[in-house]
Amino acid sequence: DTAVSQTPKYLVTQMGNDKSIKCEQNLGHDTMYWYKQDSKKFLKIMFSYNNKELIINETVPNRFSPKSPDKAHLNLHINSLELGDSAVYFCASSLGGPINEQFFGPGTRLTVL
């Protein structure tokens, strides 16, 4: 039983395209996150949603738009993809705020050609 799942696992696309990554958690958590891991393996927060409301929006280009249809899902839509968007994107979830453990999905490796 996968706790935090992401689809697709791999995504290869051309510059300028629009793509989405989906995330689902079955842990009953109320907070979900998107992180980006760049080529140097450095992990950085992008967005966080609590009870379907956006609570963190780092300095991410507005081509990135998260959507949370319910507490168990947080999707990431990316418009007009650029070469620099190539990275591994991780979804995570937790129960409540920063005092609680975050659980991560397996990641989506995005390659923009």
Partner 1 sequence: KQEVTQIPAALSVPEGENLVLNCSFTDSAIYNLQWFRQDPGKGLTSLLLIQSSQREQTSGRLNASLDKSSGRSTLYIAASQPGDSATYLCAVPMDSSYKLIFGSGTRLLVRP
Among the listed residues 50, 43, 48, 71, the one whose alpha carbon sits nearest the alpha carbon of residue 58: 48
Name the minimum Å distance from CB 87 to partner 1: 14
Residue 93 binds partner 1, judged by CB under 8 A: no
| Among the listed residues 21, 23, 29, 31, the single contact to partner 1 using CB under 8 A | 31
Binding partner 1 (rule: CB under 8 A), the pick from 55, 61, 84, 113 is 55
* Site for partner 1 contains 28 (CB under 8 A): no
Binding partner 1 (rule: CB under 8 A), the pick from 23, 34, 50, 68 is 50
- Produce one character per residue of 26-48: b if its CB has 16 or more CB atoms within 10 Å, e if not: eeebbbbbbbbeeeeeeeeebbb
